[in-house]
């Protein structure tokens, strides 16, 4: 039987000889992730089970990143639950403040996710790791608790929708624009409970950071995973991680088959020539309410946030700094820069990017999810409007339900910060 890449990965983690979409399966997971919001519930359920030790202290990852550094007493208590459990169970991959980062940027950076892996996380944006050619999906805290116990989880094998992108991308257009365009085309429910498989010549030319941005937002179309078949770009990225030794000759040989079969069945196939695509912006209050930045130049903004698990990587900061260098932001506007990990933080400092942001009138934060989910470090008041490189713009997502959030790439965000209104970055040239 012919299979998609997602089906192949799921099958490889069962004892079955075959499977098909719609079937319920029990599969072994390679990694189980929790954060300061979701893991405390999982830990509580784990304790209720009576089991004394987790299935594997090397295959569980705990990252306090949503409200950390702790913004208040409740946040501090949540983080303490993770710290105590990690100490008790000798969890190898527990990342405390000072060495942590936003989880979906941190795990790939640490080399904890590889092509062909099956990863679950009690966070909806776990789908980010699909950019590495893994099957990665968000689950509930009770599912995470079960994985803590025996390293397994139940799945309903999803159908796959294939997206093929051809053409040549224009300047200032990248992965964030591609995924916003895609969600705009199919809607926030266009891939509900489906795998989104991104492919085509445009995808093959994207950097890993651009691929992460695309896979990260698969959930915004309802997708359970956003997957890209691994290639030389993927291997090049992995070779620079602490776990590069896992890239043995035998492993690389297995990767040759880690792609969808030519006869694989898809629920739908979309194919777009994106040669004329412009920088895109998702308007309130859905990621699917997408328009070209050039059509929104009358929209004034109070705040710009550049960061998050979508666009807080070093290439994102470089793009923003390139635009902001030697310029200052609009008086009265707040510019908040949040590097996704400590490594990215240090690189930004060493390259002088942090200085560019501060001189432009912005603030440079420690890694945190911060304002993305209305946590801290940039909450919006009633009537305020923010342009962010984050992934969601639902009502009240970043603070007051009477505020507005627009989503865009780092290039659009940086250029707009200068003018105090949404603009196409090309207008500054």
Read off the pLDDT of residues 351-363 as tens digits, 9 standing for 90 and up.
Answer: 999 999 999 999 9
The span from the CA of 166 to the CA of 246, in Å, is 33
Task: Give tens-digit pLDDT for 173-226.
Answer: 999 999 999 999 999 999 999 999 999 999 999 999 999 999 999 999 999 999
Considering the entire predicted model, what is its pTM? Answer: 0.95
Q: ∠370-371-377 over CA atoms, to 5°? A: 65
Q: What is the mean pLDDT of residues 98-126?
A: 95
Give the tens place of pLDDT for each residue, 21-38: 999 999 999 999 999 999
Per-residue pLDDT band at 284 (split at 50, 70, 90): very high
Q: Smallest Cα–Cα separation from 390: which of 373, 376, 377?
A: 373
Two structure tokens written together for 369: 């999810």
pLDDT at 428 over 90: no
Residue-level pLDDT at 256: 79
Whether 289 has a pLDDT exceeding 90, the answer reads yes
Burial of 73 (0-12, 13-18, 19+ CB in 10 A): exposed
pLDDT of residue 146: 97
CB-based contacts of 191, cutoff 8 Å, min separation 6: 161, 218, 221, 222, 223
| pLDDT tens column, 274-283 | 999 999 999 9
Question: What local confidence, expressed as pLDDT, does residue 290 receive?
Answer: 98
Q: What is the mean pLDDT of residues 42-66?
A: 96
* In the predicted structure, residue 317 carries a pLDDT above the cut 90: yes
Q: Is the predicted pLDDT of residue 247 greater than 90, yes or no? A: no
Distance CA 228, CA 256 (A): 14
Backbone φ/ψ region at 172: left (φ over 0), alpha (ψ -120 to 50), beta: left
Residue 325's pLDDT band (boundaries 50, 70, 90)?
very high
* pLDDT band (50, 70, 90) for residue 252: confident
- Domains belonging to the chain, first-starting first, are 5-272 (3.30.499.10), 281-428 (3.30.499.10)
Q: b/e map of 1-10 (b: 16 or more CB within 10 Å)?
A: eebbbbbbbb
């Amino acid at each position: 039987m012919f299979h998609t890449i997602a089906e192949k990965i799921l099958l490889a983690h069962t004892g079955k000889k075959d499977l098909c979409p719609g079937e319920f399966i029990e599969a072994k997971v390679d990694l189980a992730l929790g954060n300061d919001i979701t893991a405390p519930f999982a830990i509580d359920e784990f304790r209720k089970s009576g089991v004394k030790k987790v299935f594997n202290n090397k295959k569980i990852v705990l990252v306090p990143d949503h409200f950390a550094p702790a913004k208040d007493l409740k946040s501090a208590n949540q983080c303490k639950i993770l710290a105590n459990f990690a100490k008790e169970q000798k969890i190898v991959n527990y990342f405390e403040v000072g060495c942590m980062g936003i989880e979906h940027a941190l795990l790939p950076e640490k080399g904890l996710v590889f092509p062909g892996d099956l990863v679950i996380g009690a966070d909806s944006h776990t789908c980010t790791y699909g950019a590495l050619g893994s099957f990665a999906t968000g689950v509930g805290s009770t599912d995470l608790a079960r994985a803590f116990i025996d390293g397994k989880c139940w799945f309903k094998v999803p159908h796959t929708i294939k997206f093929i992108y051809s053409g040549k991308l224009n300047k200032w257009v990248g992965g964030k624009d591609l995924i916003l365009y895609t969600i705009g085309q199919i809607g926030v429910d266009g891939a509900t409970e489906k795998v989104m498989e991104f492919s085509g010549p445009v995808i093959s030319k994207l950097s890993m950071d651009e691929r992460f941005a695309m896979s990260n937002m698969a959930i915004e179309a309802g997708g359970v995973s956003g997957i890209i078949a691994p290639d030389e770009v993927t291997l090049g990225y992995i070779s620079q991680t602490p776990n590069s030794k896992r890239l043995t000759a035998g492993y690389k040989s297995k990767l040759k088959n880690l792609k969808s079969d030519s006869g694989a069945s898809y629920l739908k196939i979309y194919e777009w020539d994106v040669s004329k695509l412009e920088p895109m912006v998702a308007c309130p209050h859905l990621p699917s309410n997408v328009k070209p930045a050039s059509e929104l130049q009358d929209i004034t903004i109070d705040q710009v946030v550049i960061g998050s698990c979508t666009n807080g990587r070093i290439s994102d900061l470089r793009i923003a700094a390139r635009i902001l260098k030697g310029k200052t932001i609009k008086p009265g506007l707040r510019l908040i820069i949040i590097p996704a990990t400590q490594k990215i933080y240090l690189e930004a400092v060493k390259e002088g990017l942090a200085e560019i942001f501060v001189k432009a009138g912005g603030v440079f934060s420690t890694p945190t999810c911060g304002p993305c989910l209305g946590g801290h470090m940039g909450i919006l008041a009633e009537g305020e409007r923010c342009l962010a490189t984050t992934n969601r713009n639902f009502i009240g997502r970043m603070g007051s339900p009477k505020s507005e959030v627009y989503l865009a790439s780092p290039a659009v965000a940086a250029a707009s910060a200068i003018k105090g209104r949404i603009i196409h970055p090309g207008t500054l040239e």
